[in-house]
Amino acid sequence: MPPSQSALPERYRDDRLHAMAIDPQRIFIYWDEGAAVSAIVARHLAAGWEQAPRGLRVRLAEGDVRLLPCEAASGSVYVGGLQAGAPCRVEYGVEWQGRFLPLYETRVQLPGVRSKRPASVELSERISSYTLYTRS
Amino acid sequence: MKRGFLTMVLHAHLPYVRHERIRNALEERWFYEAMSETYLPLLAMWERLQRQGTPFSYALVLSPTLLSLLADAEMAARYAEHLQKTIRLTEKELVRTVHEPQVQELARMYRATYVDLSDRFERYGRNLIPQFVRLAVSGHLELLTCAATHGFLPVISREELRQGQIRLAVETHQRLTGLQPQGIWLPECGYFPGIEEVLEQEGLRYFLVDSHAFAASSASEQQGESGHDLHAPLRVGASQVVALARDPQAAQQVWSSFVGYPGDGAYREYYRDIGFDLDWGYIREFVHPEGIRVNTGIKYHRVTGAGPHKALYQPDLAQKKVREHAAHFVAARLDALERESGKSRAPLITAPFDAELFGHWWFEGPQWLEQVALQVQDTALKLTTPSRYLQAYPETDAAAEMSMSSWGRGGYADVWVNETNDWIYPHLHRLEEKLIRLLHRKSRDGLEERTERALRQMAREVLLAQASDWAFIMAMNTTVQYATERVETHVQQAMALAEAIERGEIPASFVQALEAQAPLFPELNVEAFLGRDMTAVRQKSSLRVLMLCWEFPPRTVGGLARHVYDLSRALAQEGIEVHVVTCHGADTPETEEIEGVTVHRVYLPDYEDGPFTEWAALLNIRLAAMGARVLSGYGPFDLIHAHDWLVAESARHLSEVGDCPLVTTIHATEYGRHHGLHNDLQRQIAEMEKQLAAESEEVIVCSQYMRAELRDIYGVDAEKLHVLPNGVDLTELRKGTEEQAYDHAHALSDVNTPHFSAPTIFYVGRLVPEKGVQVLLEAASHVFAEIPHARFQIAGKGPMLAELQDLAARLGITDRVDFLGFVTDEQRNRLMRQASVAVFPSLYEPFGIVALEAMGLGIPTVAGRTGGLAEIIEHGDDGWLVEPGNARDLAATLLALLRNPQQTAAVAKRGLLKTETQFGWATIARDTCRVYRQAISQHAMLAERDREPTPSDLRPVST
C-alpha cells in the first residue's frame, strides 16, 4: 500500500507489466497501460474498448491457466497457489467479445526445485512468415 | 586432533544514516548504539583473546554503508560527543542511585564501560577499520563484504544494478580496508540465480545462504530427499563460487526468541532503559533534544521472565549463564560432528548471525562469543574462517543450480515484498531502468564533468533507495515514517537528477547539495553497473537506428531473421548505432549486445482464436512498448527501420513518438506470396503493406522484380523505391564447414557408379506452397528413374509438411527422400556443403537468399526462374534456372548437371566468385546508409514544409 499523500507519480502510463517471485507459490504483479495500447488497440477494436474489463492471465505450464480481473488500467496484485520451481507466464489484457486479448506479457521463475516443463508451447509453426496459412 | 570446523560469521551492517541537514537525527543513534554496544565491545573481546594467546577465528562482514560510516570523520566526532554525554549521564546516575547500592553498582559498571569505550575509541584514532584490518592480517578475523547499500538482490529488476551492488561493494571494501574480500554476505542471504557469475568476476569465492536453499537446489535431485550436505560447500552454476549453508540448529540456539540463549532470565533486559523509565525532567538533557525519549544504553534489569516484573540485573549470574550457554553450544556442535564421523571431508558448520545481536540486543553476546572460543580450543572442533576452510578443502561435489532464497520469514522475499512495502518497486524499477539507460548513453557519448557528476549522484540515490532496510522496517512496522521518507526522498532526488540530465540543464548547486547529504562512495565508478562487455566506450556513431522485426536469431522463421542479423552487424561495423526490437527466442535475455548491435526482446503472443491481424496488433503493442522505452532510454534516434508489414503498426507509432523518419524494407508482398489476393485477410494484409510503404520516407526492396511489383501493383512511388540485394556473410556461412571441403567434381563423377556415395540433392526452406517443394518431389521421381540411388534431402518446417510427406508416399519415393525438419544454421551449412546440388524451385521468390548462400559455399545451385532468383543467377554461367512449377524441366536440369561433373563444377566456381564480389554485406550496409540519409533529409524537408510560419518568416527580406 503506497504512503498517503506520496509525492511520487501515481501513474507512469508506460505500457508495463512486471512480475516478481515472492516465494515458491506466490508472485507480485504490477502493470500500467500506456500509449502503445491506446494507439494500436484503438485501430483494431470497435469503440468502447476502453471500458472493456481488464484482466490478468497467469499460466503455469500447460493446462493450468487462471484469469483474474483487474480493477483498473494500472495497479498491482498478488497471485498465490502457484507451482514451486515452475516458470510462470503472466499476461495482462482486455476481455473483448468473449475473448482475452493479451496486451503485455512477462515471465517469472518461481523458486524451488526447478520444473522442466516449458511455460508454453509456441505456435509459430502455424504462422509462416507474416501470413497465416491454413489448409483450404 | 580436529575432526571438524565451525565458522561463525557476524554480519555487521547499518543503513547509511548520516544526515547532513538534520542535526541529532534519531537514526544516527542506531550508529552510536551499535558502536557502543557491539563494534567496540567485539574489538575489545578479540583483543583480550589475542592477548591471552587463545586460538580463535571469526568472520566479520562489514557492509559498505557501515564501512562508510566508520570511516567518516564527522560521524566519528558526533559519536565522540555522544559518548561524552553518556558518560555524564552515568556520573549523574552514580549520584541518583546513592541510596540504592545494587543499582549504583550497576551504574558504576556502566560508567566504567563507557569511559573504557571512549578511551578505546580515542586510542583507535576514532577509526575502528584499522583495528579490524589488524586482526584480519593476524589471521584472527576474515573480513567479508556485502552489497553496496544492502540491496536485496532478488527484488532488483536490472541485472546491471545487481552487478553494480556487488562491484561497488568490492571496490569500497578494497578502498577502505586495503584488502580484497574473499567472501560476500548477500543482503538478507538473498540469493538470485546467476549472481555467482558476478561474484566470480569480482574475485569472490563464496557466499552464504539459508539451509533450505540447498534442499531446493538441483543437488537435492541428485542426492535424495535430504539434499546436499549442509556441512559441505556447494559449488553453484557454472562458476567456481561456492555457497555455504546456515546450520539450522546452531542458528536456532542463538536466534530463537523462545529457546534461544538471549532470552534467558539472567541476561540483561533490552527494553527497560532509563531513557524511558526515569522522570522527564531528570533525563531530558540526555535524550533527544526535540523531547523524544530514546534508549540511553543504561539498563538495570534482567529478563527475569515473560511477565512485566523485571528483577535487577546481576552481572555474576549473567556471566555464569554465558559460560553454561557457550558450553552447551560447543557440546551441541560436537554431537553434530560425532554424527558425521566417517565422512570423506571434514565438515564445516556455518553459523551466521547479525553482529548487532551481540552486545546491542544480547548484552552478554560478546562474552558468549569469547567463551565459545575458549571452550572450543581443546575439543575436536576448530574455529576457522570460510576462506581458510576452502583453502584446506578445495574439492567440492558437482555444481548445482539453486533458486532464489533468503533467510527472511518464509525463506524467500516475503519480508521485502508485501502489502506494507510493495509500493516501492514500481517506482524503483523504473528508476533502475532509467539509470541504466542513462549510463549506456554516457558510455556511448562520453559526458562533460557536470553531467557525469549528476549521473554518479543519481546512481547513489538509486542505490540508497534499494537498501533492504527500508522495506524491512515497513514490514516490521517500526520506524515506518522514516523508511518511507528515505525511499521517497531518494527516488524523487534520482528522478530530478534524471530529468536534469535529460534536459541538459543541471544546476551545480543542486548536485552539490545532494552530494553533501550522502557523502558515500566518493569515487563511485558508474561503469561498474554496466557489463564488462559494455564498458568499452563506443565509437561515436554517425546515425542511431531502431530496427523492428519479428524474428531475429536465435528465433529464425524465414530468411528475414538472417537478413536483419547480417545487416545490423554490418551497419554497426560502419559506425551506425543499431538497436533491434524483436521477439524472444528460447531462453534469450531481454537485452543483449551482439557484435555492436543492441537487441531488445519482447514475448511473442500465442496465436489463439481470432483474426490474424488482431494477433499482429498484439505483437505490435509489445514491440511498440519496448521500442518506446528504447527511444527514451537510448535516444534521440535518427530513424526507424521496419522489416515487413508485421511490424507496421509499431513502426508507425514509434516514428510518431520519436519524430523519426521511417524506412521500410519490404521483403515480400502478400500479393506475391499468393499470386494475387484471394480473400479478405490477404486483402487486409496487402492494404497494410501498401499503407506502410506509403507512410515510409523510403522503401527498400531486394530485387528489380520486387520493385516492379510494389510500383505496379501497390502503386508505390518509384522514386522512393531502392533496390538493395540481400547479402551473404561468407565468414559466418563457412563456420564449421571448412574441415569438410568437398570435391564436387569428384563426387559428381561417380553418379553412374552406385557403389560410390549417392548424389544428394538438397533443399532448405519453409515448407509452404510458394517454395515449390511439391514440384521438387515430382521431379525427384523422374531423377530416380535414371539415378535410382540418388537421395533428396528436405530441410525445414512449415504447414505443408504432412501434405508433402503424403505426396512422397503417393509417388513411391518415401525411402529416398529425407524430411529433416528444422535445422540450425550450422547444420544447414554442413548439409549444404555435403550435397551434390542445392535446389530452390520457388514459384515466387522476392530474392532467394538461400540460393545465394548455396552459391557462396561453392555448391551447384538450381533455382526457379522467378523474382529475385532470376536476377541473381545467370543460367548456365554461375547456376541454373528452371521454369517454376515445371517438374520435368527441373528433373532434366538435375540429370544434366549430375552427368556433366566437370562443367557443373566450373559453373559452381563462378557462382562462388559472384557471391564474393557482388553480395558482400559491407557494400549493402553502405548503400543502406545512403537510403537512411535520404530519408532523414526527406523527413526534415517535410517537417520544414509543415511548420507554421513564424513572424521571422514573414519579415520582408532586406535588399
Give the pLDDT confidence of A68-122 residue by residue, as tens digits: 999 889 999 999 999 888 899 999 999 988 889 999 999 999 998 754 444 433 3
On chain B, the residues whose CB falls within 8 A of the CB of A12 are: 426, 430
Instruction: Give the gap in angstroms from C-alpha A123 to the nearest C-alpha of chain B.
Output: 6
Mind listing the pLDDT tens digit for each residue in B359-370? 999 999 999 999
- pLDDT of amino acid B719: 93
- pLDDT of amino acid B849: 83
- Asked whether the predicted pLDDT for residue B48 surpasses 90, the reply is yes
| Gap between the Cα atoms of A118 and A39, Å rounded | 33
| Gap between the Cα atoms of B640 and B363, Å rounded | 66
Q: Where are the beta strands (DSSP E) in B496-564?
A: 543-548
**Are β-strands B234-235 and B242-245 bridged in parallel, bridged antiparallel, or unpaired?**
antiparallel
pLDDT bin (cut points 50, 70, 90) of residue A48 is confident
- pLDDT of amino acid B627: 97
- Asked whether the predicted pLDDT for residue B47 surpasses 70, the reply is yes
| Gap between the Cα atoms of B598 and A22, Å rounded | 31
Residues 6+ apart with CB under 8 A from B720: B693, B696, B697, B698, B699
Q: Specify the DSSP element, H or E, that contains A135.
A: none
Q: In whole angstroms, what separates CA B443 from the centre of its chain?
A: 18
Q: Is residue B468 within 8 Å of B475, Cβ to Cβ?
A: no
With CB atoms and an 8 Å threshold, state whether A36 touches B606: no
On chain B, the residues whose CB falls within 8 A of the CB of A85 are: 216, 403
Q: Mean per-residue pLDDT for B927-950?
A: 85
- A46 close to B (CB below 8 A): no
With CB atoms and an 8 Å threshold, state whether B412 touches A111: yes
Query: Of A34, A44, A125, which has the smallest distance from its Cβ to B625's Cβ?
Result: A34
Quote the mean pLDDT of chain B: 90
pLDDT bin (cut points 50, 70, 90) of residue B224 is low
With CB atoms and an 8 Å threshold, state whether A130 touches B491: no
On chain B, the residues whose CB falls within 8 A of the CB of A134 are: 799
pLDDT bin (cut points 50, 70, 90) of residue B946 is confident
pLDDT bin (cut points 50, 70, 90) of residue B472 is very high
B605, closest residue in chain A (CA to CA):
A102
Cell for A103?
A: 496486451
Query: Of A41, A120, A123, which has the smallest distance from its Cβ to B617's Cβ?
Result: A41
On chain A, the residues whose CB falls within 8 A of the CB of B220 are: 113
| Gap between the Cα atoms of B628 and A104, Å rounded | 14
Amino acid identity, position B864: G
- Asked whether the predicted pLDDT for residue B833 surpasses 90, the reply is no
- pLDDT of amino acid A30: 97
Among B188, B412, B664, the strongest candidate for a mutation testing the A interface, having the largest count of A CBs within 10 A, is B412
Instruction: Give the gap in angstroms from C-alpha A80 to the nearest C-alpha of chain B.
Output: 12
With CB atoms and an 8 Å threshold, state whether B417 touches A15: no
On chain B, the residues whose CB falls within 8 A of the CB of A102 are: 605-606, 618
| Gap between the Cα atoms of B82 and B41, Å rounded | 17
- pLDDT of amino acid A119: 41
Mind listing the pLDDT tens digit for each residue in B905-921? 999 999 999 998 888 89
Q: Specify the DSSP element, H or E, that contains B760.
A: strand B760-764
- Asked whether the predicted pLDDT for residue B871 surpasses 90, the reply is no
Report the share of chain B in percent with pLDDT over 70. 94
- pLDDT of amino acid B745: 47
Instruction: Pick the most confident of B589-593, B747-751, B861-865.
Output: B861-865
With CB atoms and an 8 Å threshold, state whether B625 touches A16: yes
Cβ neighbour number for residue B920 with a 10 Å cutoff: 16
| Gap between the Cα atoms of B543 and B932, Å rounded | 9
Q: Which of A128-132, B79-83, B612-616, B793-797 has the lowest mean pLDDT?
A: A128-132
| Gap between the Cα atoms of A61 and A89, Å rounded | 8
- pLDDT of amino acid B730: 82
Query: Of B614, B622, B685, which has the smallest distance from its Cβ to A104's Cβ?
Result: B622
Q: Which of B574-583, B600-609, B832-841 has the lowest mean pLDDT?
A: B600-609
Quote the mean pLDDT of chain A: 81
B673, closest residue in chain A (CA to CA):
A131
Tell me the three state secondary structure of residue B858. Answer: coil
Q: In whole angstroms, what separates CA B497 from the centre of its chain?
A: 24
- Taking the CA atoms of B692, B693, B699 and B703 in sequence, report the sign of the dihedral they define: positive
Q: Specify the DSSP element, H or E, that contains A91.
A: strand A87-96
pLDDT bin (cut points 50, 70, 90) of residue B343 is confident
Instruction: Give the gap in angstroms from C-alpha A15 to the nearest C-alpha of chain B.
Output: 6
With CB atoms and an 8 Å threshold, state whether A112 touches B798: no
On chain A, the residues whose CB falls within 8 A of the CB of B218 are: 113-114
Cell for B547?
A: 530496427
- A99 close to B (CB below 8 A): yes
Among A10, A11, A40, the strongest candidate for a mutation testing the B interface, having the largest count of B CBs within 10 A, is A40
B646, closest residue in chain A (CA to CA):
A130
Query: Of B155, B419, B557, which has the smallest distance from its Cβ to A129's Cβ?
Result: B557
B484, closest residue in chain A (CA to CA):
A3
Return the bridge partners of B243, or none: B207, B234
Mind listing the pLDDT tens digit for each residue in B493-539? 999 999 999 888 999 899 999 999 889 999 888 877 876 444 444 55
- A88 close to B (CB below 8 A): no
- pLDDT of amino acid A62: 59
Query: Of B610, B645, B799, which has the smallest distance from its Cβ to A133's Cβ?
Result: B799
Query: Of A20, A37, A111, which has the smallest distance from its Cβ to B403's Cβ?
Result: A111
What Rg value do the Cα atoms of chain B yield, rounded? 37
Instruction: Give the gap in angstroms from C-alpha A107 to the nearest C-alpha of chain B.
Output: 9
Q: Is residue B270 within 8 Å of B310, Cβ to Cβ?
A: no
ipTM of the complex: 0.87
